[in-house]
Chains A and B, each alone.
Chain A
């Protein structure tokens, strides 16, 4: 295995790890708030669950990027590509948008979602507005995801 492949694998790992950490933090923050509300208003469970899971998507995006790198480099099939060091760093860079923005956006989306959970507790009918507000934050994770995907598909493998 070449140094380039190792660097690319570290990048893929970071995408899954960092975006995953963001989602872990986010989902637990929202989960705590939602559990508190559910104790008083159990009938809101369904609505709160949607809000709680919103910051969870970033982790999935990170996972997705990591898997795409694995596919691109043939790490899943067994015929791993020998990457040059430069190409390895290029893949590393391609993983960074979702790794970093996934982490940050999940954390801050969770803050909005937590407030939305509080809002839903007081006015259950406005949960849709709360969802929309939280999803606005996720836009930037999605943009980063697109950049990462386009780079991974676009980078030369040989």
Chain B
């Protein structure tokens, strides 16, 4: 059923704004549609959202025990509405630790670079600051590739210079030599041809060896501090829930700030939609915030875009998500969900059609629901599969199919594997009934709009033709079938062209209306996919059984065959579920909805508490 909407016009005092919006959000009854001229700034909230997200990312990394099925957070409303001082401090501390770790890690990188470049010089016996002190001689430190070392030695012997060759590094051998002042430029000039390059040292009054020790000491100290901070983060990650809640709190602050309203100097005006069955609750939610208010409720006018809220029995509700994936119904059309849900349920079972698989689905969903505690859309999907497991079992029993084994037990009708033609006929017949349901719904809607001729020409006629064709194949009803089909055809010829002018025009257009038979035929044939899916899932299951039975014998063989049973059937079940879900949806969208459904409605989205990390907000007061 589609719940009618009321338009709410609400005026409150400016100073009550914050309190009112909080209360409206808490009870979640009003979809706000008013506009405003000024756009509020949410920089502070955005900033905090960024910070908490960043911290969460980091803390997740440091978390030791990750819950297998994600976090499950339950928070009291009163705890939710007030931000905890400690949580804010926690974010600060996490950020501080992160900055420290990052800085020191960068620091360590450059330290390591420096150590690496100085390492070849560790036995240099001159302090770097003394290298340029001599007046008579020039001391050089530099690098030379190994193939020039011999030439270098000869050069040094030639000038009788003091020289020393140290360790090899990436840039070549580290060399140290002393030239007389006069000869210096000449020697350097000659060395240039050997690709000689000078080394640069930090200005220090220590020996390189000691300097290196200092660097290593610093590196160790840094690592200690890093470790310390990592331990801190490890500790903080235990209170990750606090940060998650903080994130959700800022998210909701932002939602409230973004609410649009008109204002005068003293008052604000909010406009929106309320479900007509929840008006009382809505008014109470205002009273919780303030006594001074003015509320007017009006019926929607013709140029309003009215949001749609569908309210159905518990069995139907999960299937609403299937319709919503296609399109929300418009607020003034017939709710397609009840009929769609039942058909979806029946067809899903027919496509799976295995009692064993149905049982597996049922058990699997119940276990997963216990473990994951899904909410919202995910929960709907679980419930659809859970409900459909019942029809899967029923059709499985009718077809005598149990995990791919054909066992003609109780209630056995026929086996699709042995009588594929029969399966095809049943599929198309079911499809016919499905299409006729759609036509009946359209007829009801036309009846409400007083379009009686439309019912005769577009719905009743085709229902008669489809039923007539079906009866034609049953011997005893053959005559009735022919009559019914002829009446249907006559109705189309008579009324299909009723909007055209002139007798000839009416007649020609009426005959043209018969051309729709092609679309009905292709719709009917489309239901043969039920047979295809049922057969393919049944035969893959059969193949798995056959494969498993082929390897049986001995301990190894038995174990291996059990493995094939399990893996094969789970694989087939998952693929079957996906196909059934997809193709069942398609049959609803194209073949069924095509007959009556308009769609294009707007979802009813009241101002409510949004949550990313919190699963349940406990609030006893909410149920007024």
Contact = CB atoms under 8 A, between A and B. Distances in A.
B575 A60 contact: yes
Interface stretch (B186-194, B219-227, B536-544): B536-544
Contact of A128 (B325, B575, B578): B325
A129 B420 CA distance: 32
A143 B586 contact: no
B609 interface: no
Contacts of B586: 131-132, 135-136
B379 to A, nearest CB: 14
Interface in B497-535: 525-526, 528-529, 531-532, 535
B325 A146 contact: no
Contacts of A143: 525, 528
Smallest CB-CB A-B distances: 6 pairs: A128-B325, A135-B586, A142-B529, A64-B536, A142-B532, A67-B543
Given A67-B543, A71-B542, 13 more contacts: A57-B575, A128-B324, A128-B585, A136-B586, A142-B528, A142-B529, A142-B532, A146-B424, A146-B528, A146-B531, A146-B532, A149-B532, A149-B535
Given A50-B582, A60-B575, A150-B420, A129 B326 contact: yes
Contacts of B583: 135
Contacts of B421: 150, 153
18 contacts: A60-B536, A60-B575, A61-B532, A61-B536, A64-B539, A67-B540, A127-B325, A128-B322, A131-B586, A132-B589, A135-B582, A135-B583, A135-B586, A139-B526, A142-B529, A146-B532, A149-B535, A150-B424
Contacts of B325: 127-129, 131
Given A64-B536, A128-B585, A139-B526, A149 B326 contact: no
Contacts of B420: 149-150, 153
B126 interface: no
Given A64-B536, A146-B424, A153-B420, A131 B529 contact: no
Given A132-B326, A142-B529, A60 B540 contact: yes
Interface of A: 50, 53-54, 57, 60-61, 63-64, 67-68, 71, 76, 127-129, 131-132, 135-136, 139, 142-143, 145-146, 149-150, 153
Nearest to A127: B325
B579 interface: yes
A60 B532 CA distance: 12
Q: Interface size class for chain B?
A: 20 to 34
B578 A145 contact: no
B190 to A, nearest CB: 57
B590 interface: yes
B578 A50 contact: yes
Contacts of A139: 526, 529
B437 interface: no
A57 B583 CA distance: 12
Interface centre among B324, B575, B582, B589, by most chain A C-beta atoms within 10 angstroms, is B582
A132 B585 contact: yes
B105 interface: no
Contact of B326 (A50, A63, A128, A136): A128
Nearest to A64: B536
B244 to A, nearest CB: 16
B60 interface: no
Nearest to A128: B325
B57 to A, nearest CB: 12
B324 to A, nearest CB: 8
B546 interface: yes
A24 to B, nearest CB: 16
Contacts of A53: 578
Given A60-B575, A128-B325, A149-B420, A68 B539 contact: yes
B561 to A, nearest CB: 15
A145 B532 contact: yes
A3 B384 CA distance: 50
